[in-house]
């Protein structure tokens, strides 16, 4: 029973951590309508920078801020390539993602392990002072929940501001933004900066949680993000009162749960990417079928 409980808590923690990545994909895919593949590079970028900083004794919470900044820079590069150099959105993301793979190798090599003596956000003094009596697995859950909720609330508040409304307008009707004498290109860049900052933050927390970095950890993350966004928005399509960020948070947890179930029933690790792809395809088909059913009913 304890094993099952620990497994459930670990899966929930993973879902909360990766929800930050899902927020970023939600901004690019759902709000900006921008197929941003930078995610596969900015996620491990956050982890790589964090791994190096932790091994050098940097304050754990400071590493999160640095990861956010470096992720924002990655989003800025993609935005400038697309907007200023007039490269198509998909290609702009591919270019940045490809460059980041080499950059990540230069930062942390192909793999890096953070020794147990190094403090993380789950073992830092402030956390230990408040939650030190709890086992590590519960500390991870509580800290991840707080960060995921803070990220969600900040994003919700931002999307209600003038800049946030312009961000929504660019994806829905870019002509409207231009008619308001606003630079739609600048708004797109802002969205990409925020999105990749969140993605890099997710990568940083994964590094804290696993105490490790791998150059391949970004592979397929954009697919994961898209899947969680589609799961969440499909589940809550008829519930207009549910915020988009809440939907993708739930989607992230559910998707991680599906993957964990696949592992628990004995699926070989080398088939996980195949299962991810099949699951994503199933979600897309289900989403389109449900959408078509709603229109037919209407």
DSSP secondary structure string, 167-206? HHHHHH-HHHHHHTT--HHHHHHHHHHHHHHHHHHHHHHH
Residue 225 belongs to some domain of the structure: no
Residue 253 belongs to some domain of the structure: no
Residue 171 belongs to some domain of the structure: yes
| pLDDT score at 170 | 81
Whether 218 contacts 43, CB under 8 Å: yes
Q: Which of 221, 201, 273, 226 is nearest to 45 (CA)?
A: 201
| pLDDT score at 139 | 97
| pLDDT score at 180 | 63
| pLDDT score at 267 | 77
| pLDDT score at 235 | 84
Cβ neighbours around 288 below 10 Å, total: 12
Residue 185 belongs to some domain of the structure: yes
| pLDDT score at 1 | 58
Residue 227 belongs to some domain of the structure: no
Whether 251 contacts 236, CB under 8 Å: no
| pLDDT score at 277 | 78
Residue 11 belongs to some domain of the structure: yes
C-alpha angle 6-7-10 in degrees, rounded to nearest 5:
85
Domains held by the chain: number? 1
- Cα distances (angstroms) measured from residue 65 to each of 48, 62, 124, 201, 202: 14, 5, 15, 8, 12
Write out the residue range of the structural domain in which residue 6 sits.
2-218
Mean pLDDT in consecutive groups of 10 residues from the start of the chain, 298 residues: 85 96 95 94 97 96 98 98 95 97 96 94 95 95 97 96 86 64 83 97 97 92 91 85 93 90 79 77 74 52
Residue 69 belongs to some domain of the structure: yes
Residue 154 belongs to some domain of the structure: yes
């Amino acid at each position: 029973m304890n094993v099952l409980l620990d497994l459930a808590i670990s899966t929930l923690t993973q879902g909360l951590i990766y929800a930050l990545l899902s927020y970023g994909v939600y901004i690019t895919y759902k709000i900006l309508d921008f197929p941003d593949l930078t995610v596969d590079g900015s996620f491990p970028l956050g982890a790589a920078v964090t791994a190096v900083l932790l091994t050098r004794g940097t304050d754990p919470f400071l590493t999160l801020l640095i990861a956010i900044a470096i992720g924002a820079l990655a989003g800025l590069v993609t935005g400038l390539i697309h907007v200023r150099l007039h490269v198509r959105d998909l290609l702009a993301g591919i270019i940045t993602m490809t460059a980041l793979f080499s950059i990540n190798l230069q930062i942390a090599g192909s793999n890096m392990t953070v020794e147990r003596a190094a403090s993380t956000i789950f073992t830092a003094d402030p956390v230990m002072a408040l939650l030190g009596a709890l086992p590590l697995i519960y500390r991870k859950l509580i800290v991840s929940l707080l960060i995921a909720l803070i990220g969600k609330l900040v994003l919700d508040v931002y999307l209600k501001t003038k800049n946030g409304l312009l961000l929504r307008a660019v994806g829905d009707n870019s002509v409207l933004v231009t008619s308001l004498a606003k630079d739609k290109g600048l708004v797109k860049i802002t969205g990409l900066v925020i999105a990749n900052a969140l993605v890099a933050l997710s990568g940083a927390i994964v590094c804290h949680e696993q105490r490790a970095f791998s150059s391949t950890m970004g592979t397929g993350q954009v697919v994961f993000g898209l899947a969680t966004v589609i799961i969440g928005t499909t589940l809550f399509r008829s519930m207009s009162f549910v915020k988009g960020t809440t939907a993708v948070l739930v989607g992230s947890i559910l998707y991680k749960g599906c993957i964990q179930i696949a592992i628990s029933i004995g699926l070989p690790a080398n088939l996980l990417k195949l299962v991810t792809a099949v699951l994503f395809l199933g979600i897309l088909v289900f989403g389109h079928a449900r959408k078509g059913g709603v229109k037919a009913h209407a």
